Amino acid sequence: MRKLGKCRLKSALAAVTALTAFVLLFPGHFDSCEEDMMMGIWEDPEDVSDRRCLDMFYRHLNLFTQQANCSRIIRGDQEAVQEARLNSLAVSSKKDPLTENHYVFATKDCAAFIKERKYLTFPLSLEERNFPIAYSIVIHEHIEMFERLLRTIYTPQNLYCIHVDRKAAVTFNRAVKAIASCFPNVFIASKLENVVYASWSRVQADLNCMEELLQSPVHWKYFINLCGLDFPIKTNAEMVRNLIVLNGKNSMESEEPSASKTERWLFHHEVTNQISRTKEKKSLPPISTPMFTGNAYFVASREFVNHLFVSPEIQKFLKWAEDTYSPDEHVWATLQRMPTVPGTNPPNSKYQMSDMAAIARLVKWSYMEGDITKNAPYPKCTGVHRRSVCIYGSGDLHWILQQHHLFANKFDSQVDNTALQCLEGHLRYKAIYRKGFM
């Protein structure tokens, strides 16, 4: 057996866990591969003496399930993209999504479910194991999309708080609980909100998860919030490296508000099954720094999240914002420019950050798409639009995977399942081999 170097010794500890978990999932497949597992192949897959070990591992966890030429699609090959587009339009190629009842039944045997759905049940590197990430995922429908999102971002060292809208169907609730019950680090938020579009409830849903995540014995490093139609465009290892580079800073959109957006916090709003503005004027924001606007999704340090609950100034500001319109689009952006809050930037205009500059989430808005050679921020959507947001098609993948963001929104298997499958397959291959399959 080769001698273990100092850095390999640390890797070997993680590899022992990996070997044990893999043997339990796939007994009878390891003999001479044990040495390579012990040498810590996850740190440098190119250093594996017997490539067949890595290949064997990948064969059992490969997520490609169709014949589409994903390599060509991701390279932006227009012939392959057009073929995928035509395929997505063909009724005969449409795949019925997995139902809530399917998940309730499948999770009765958690070990079989985890094996069949090919979850990664151990960290793929020591760096990842030592850098847990906390997630808040706010959902209300599309059970298969939620489960595929969870599968792609799942690792045992991370934490996942799932907030299910109180309006969600009973069958949806049951399925989410069934899926969560199979994982010790996935849980349903104990306090659930009736989420109303553009109201405070969207912010409160994340706050509920934040509070519970802080109570966990797992000392996670960063917090990321998601919705059910988000999907990662980076592997967990890539996310960890990006978050390490932030060095305690947050990453979120935060820009000076337009006149129309300023009106969102000038008046008191009432919430029933929708939000409506009253004629009652609000008091000025109880902060010494200006208001800023951004979006609901962000990457924040643990210190930032903890500060929200211990600072009287922040608690007062959050209370003031409860009756504003779409507070998720100005609360986080404003907090990000308060110098007393951990990981933030100064309010000076030189620190403006757009959604394209922040790493949290990549979105294409219909009214901003166009020819990038003529100053459009991004090319046209190749899928469809919903509420002015692009639901990505296969033709968007080449552009998406060149961006620095951690997640992209929106994907929907009922719009273009090929786009989703190619992205799933690409990320799984890259997670194991540490390089793309192109």
Among all residues, which ones are annotated catalytic? 329
Place of tokens 């490296």: 241
* φ, ψ dihedrals at 240, nearest 5°: -55, -45
CA atoms within 13 A on the CB side of 72: 11
Q: Which two tokens stand for residue 187?
A: 């849980």
For the chain, the straight-line distance linking the first and the last C-alpha, in angstroms and rounded, comes to 34
Tally: H helices and E strands in the chain: 18, 12
Q: Residue type at 247?
A: N
The span from the CA of 395 to the CA of 376, in Å, is 17
The span from the CA of 64 to the CA of 77, in Å, is 19
Angstrom distances, CA of residue 201 to CA of 154, 230, 341, 412: 26, 19, 23, 24
The span from the CA of 18 to the CA of 355, in Å, is 37
Q: At what angle do helices 413-433 and 236-246 cross, to 10 degrees?
A: 80
The strand pair at 299-301 and 275-281 is best described as: unpaired
Burial of residue 272 (CB within 10 Å: 0-12, 13-18, 19+) is: exposed
The span from the CA of 137 to the CA of 206, in Å, is 8
